[in-house]
Amino acid sequence: MTSDMPDVSGTAGAGEAAAAPGDPSAATARGGVEAVSCTGLAHAFGETRAVDGLDLAVREGEVFGLLGPNGAGKTTAIRCITTLLPVPAGMVRVFGHDAAKERMAVRRLLGYVPQQLSADSGLTGRENTALFARVFDVPRRERAARVDQALAAVGLADAADRLAGTYSGGMVRRLELAQALVSAPRLLILDEPTIGLDPIARTGVWEHINAVRAVTGMTVLVTTHYMDEADQYCDRVGLMHRGRVRALGTPAALRRGLAERQGADRLPTLEDVFRDVAGSGLEDHPAGGFRDVRSTRRTAHRVG
């Protein structure tokens, strides 16, 4: 925690997690339930089996990266976990709460930064964040302070009263982070938080996530296409392909495992691991499909 990083821990679950920030094994050792548990999760759109028997366990306190190419099923899985999509088959639990039957309990525990733009360009940063504080039932008397804390935690204190429409792409992403943090979630879910951002803005987003996490001990579940970011920032990753997790572990262990299997003289990258896991099937879902272009352009538009 840096001295200029205010506390955004609020009340929900911050105390127990703060005992061992960033240490997932310690969190599990405290006997806490898993932050997210998916068992046999399946979700189809017509004939398309977007998620197809997903098993996944995210430990309390860790940063877990769900990686995969376009169409792997990451967003669909995330939307089931956040209760935005139903759970037609299998089981999803968030801190022990059944996402199918206890939707409000699940929603109260999490903050969600979707891929799509969630900030209103016609409102200031402060107004946008205050709106989320109201929607997420932050007690009225705490709202102003919590909004200030959330904006300061993402480095937007000085820009709080500017219209979001004047923000750069990186600032918009950090504002969306503040919106998700204002309710002091125990679980922060981010769907491709850095897509379309330049390297400096990408680093900025991650630094703010990690600074808040160091204070609150919140669990982070993030989807990304960027293997380098996953390698650098995630405690563990799940490599998802065709609706399922095909490999799971710390980035280092996955890379070492491939090096041992291949007898390689250099340590492979996470991307090498992914190509090994997904094999030639990766070409079935080439990057740059309409949906990916659309989301990248949406973000790029904010930058312009």
Ligand X SMILES: Nc1ncnc2c1ncn2[C@@H]1O[C@H](COP(=O)(O)OP(=O)(O)OP(=O)(O)O)[C@@H](O)[C@H]1O
CB nearer ligand X, residue 182 or residue 188:
188
Shortest Cβ 295–ligand X spacing (Å): 7
Residue 94 CB partners (closer than 8 Å, separation 6+):
35, 36, 81, 106, 109, 110, 187
Q: Which residues of 5-17 are buried (b: 16+ CB within 10 A; e: fewer)?
A: bbebbbebbbeeb
Nearer to ligand X, 31 or 46 (CB): 46
Q: Smallest distance from the beta carbon of 89 to ligand X, in angstroms?
A: 15
Residue from 59, 55, 35, 24 nearest 240 by CA: 55
Closest CA to 67 of 251, 205, 196: 251
Q: Which is nearer to ligand X, 38 or 50 (CB)?
A: 50
Distance in angstroms (rounded) separating the CA atoms of residues 94 and 41? 13
* Shortest Å, Cβ 145 to ligand X: 36
How far is Cα of residue 284 from the mean position of the Cα atoms in its chain? Answer: 25
Q: Which residues bind ligand X (CB under 6 A)?
A: 45, 48, 50, 68, 70-76, 291-292
Closer residue to ligand X in complex, CB, 60/176: 176
What is the side-by-side order of every strand in the sheet holding 89-94? Answer: 48-58, 36-45, 89-94, 97-98
Rounded to a whole number of angstroms, the minimum distance from the CB of residue 138 to ligand X is 30
Minimum Å gap between C-beta 287 and ligand X is 8
Comparison of 79 and 186: residue with beta carbon closer to ligand X: 79
Minimum gap (Å) between residue 92 Cβ and ligand X: 15
Q: Of 212 and 273, which CB lies nearer to ligand X in the complex structure?
A: 273
CB 57 within 8 A of CB 37: yes
Strands 63-67 and 219-224: parallel
